Amino acid sequence: MTNEHNLSEYPPEDVLVKSFFHRILLLFHIPSTWLAWQVCVVLLLPLGAVALTWSLTTGEVSDGLVAAAVLSLFFLSDALLLRGLPSRGVSYGPWQSQLFALAILRTLAALLFGLVPLLTDPLWGFVGLIGVQFIGSLTLVYGTVIEPFNLKMSYLTVESDYFASDSQPIRILHISDLHVERLTRREEQVLSMIAEIKPDLILITGDYLNLSYVYDEQAHAHVRQLLAQISAPYGVYAVLGSPPVDARDVVPSLFDDLPIHLLVNESVVVKLDDQRQIVLLGMDCSHHLPTDMNALAHLVSTSPNHMPSVLLYHAPDLMPQAAEHGIDLYLCGHTHGGQIRLPIVGAILTSSQLGKRYQMGHYHEGQTHMYVSRGVGLEGLSAPRVRFMAPPEIMLVTLKGSRL
């Protein structure tokens, strides 16, 4: 193994902490400790704005009060759903923060339909208001209760001329972005799938804790409980994810005494059957691209180059460099596939420094195959515990020979 770099050489502050997206998460996280009555008082402001808008456009105060009453009922339904998720073992995010994020979207829609009476019968405005808000509620139920537990198994076949075409294929399971808050049936599904497919090798690419539970001891215990049940004949190897999520003063110790090899800027040769070998390049992730690009170049230069190479790095941001170095397979996550996607638009946000260039799935550049996993868990802080058109996944790579 090589281990020339260590965590202390990395920038003290993650690039993501300074990002606009992270600052928005922190802003919306402010209400997370508010009491219910405080939430209600603040929500009176958007309700008042809606009442005023409708009253002015229809010329009837009663219409404004009805529109505000309709909106308040959907606010209430959101609050009841979100507050009930932890007790149902679905997700554990702060309901206040998520409620305010939803309230903004609902209020904007209500204000938009409040302009309809300027063009036609106010009745159509009310029809649109109720219809869109109801669709929003159905979408919320689907995104919080159904899709986050619709765990998929994805497949990728990669050929290598290092192996003979008649050699036994190697089955590699890739897991990313567990983001454990508490163990749920989603994590049970992961273990069930592993037991069913029986992979030869398991590789995990970071983000073990939910961002809201980085220093939560129960979450730590649940991560260890989950990881302790993951095994494969040729071993389990892992790297760390984003520094704000996989806090370097917490997460490495979660691997103590577990049968998992945590790779920190080091390479390891995995010996397979028939004297075949592959080399794993385990990269730590600082999200500071110059630092990580240099670390990758060093790692490649000091690692064996006469066997298939597999890069483990949390984010897809090093794909151009991986292709330049001729790495065979690059496994990552981080983007969650956007976690919330829209038709045609795709991912709304990815948190990747390359934007939406590598959102999710398989990419092939030069001889490098990269797979960007949508991951298993959900983002933390005030981010909605929602998946829409981006179901969780684990991925099975079949590495087969192509040499005659």
Q: Structural domain of residue 134, as residue ranges?
A: 22-147
Neighbour-count burial for 161-194, b at 16+ CB within 10 Å, e otherwise: ebbeeebeebbbbbbbbbbbbbbbebbebbeebb
**Of 127, 147, 167, which marks where a domain is finished?**
147
Residues 397 and 279 in one domain: yes
Mean pLDDT of 356-371: 97
Which tokens hold the place of 383? Answer: 């981010």
Mean pLDDT of 80-104: 91
**pLDDT (0 to 100) of residue 2:** 38
What is the percentage of the chain residues whose pLDDT exceeds 90?
Answer: 84
Helix axes 122-141, 61-84, angle to 10 degrees: 0
Residues 261 and 320 in one domain: yes
**pLDDT (0 to 100) of residue 403:** 80
Residues 79 and 157 in one domain: no
> Distance between alpha carbon 37 and the CA centroid of its chain, in Å?
32
Position 229 in a domain? yes
Mean pLDDT of 372-379: 96
Residues 74 and 217 in one domain: no
Residues 173 and 129 in one domain: no
Structural domain count of the chain: 2
Q: What is the pLDDT of residues 304-317, one digit of tens each?
A: 999 999 999 999 99
Query: What's the mean pLDDT when you consider all of the chain?
Result: 93
Neighbour-count burial for 326-365, b at 16+ CB within 10 Å, e otherwise: ebbbbbbbbbbbbbbbeeeeebebbbbebeeebbbeebee
Q: What is the pLDDT of residues 4-59, one digit of tens each?
A: 435 545 554 567 776 767 777 778 788 888 999 999 999 999 999 999 999 999 99
Which tokens hold the place of 255? Answer: 């691997």
Position 10 in a domain? no
**pLDDT (0 to 100) of residue 58:** 96
* Backbone φ, ψ for residue 147 (5° rounding): -65, -35
Mean pLDDT of 236-259: 96
Residues 141 and 227 in one domain: no
Q: What is the pLDDT of residues 168-181, one digit of tens each?
A: 999 999 999 999 99
**pLDDT (0 to 100) of residue 191:** 98
Residues 141 and 289 in one domain: no
Among 89-103, 113-127, 182-196, the range scoring the smallest mean pLDDT is 89-103
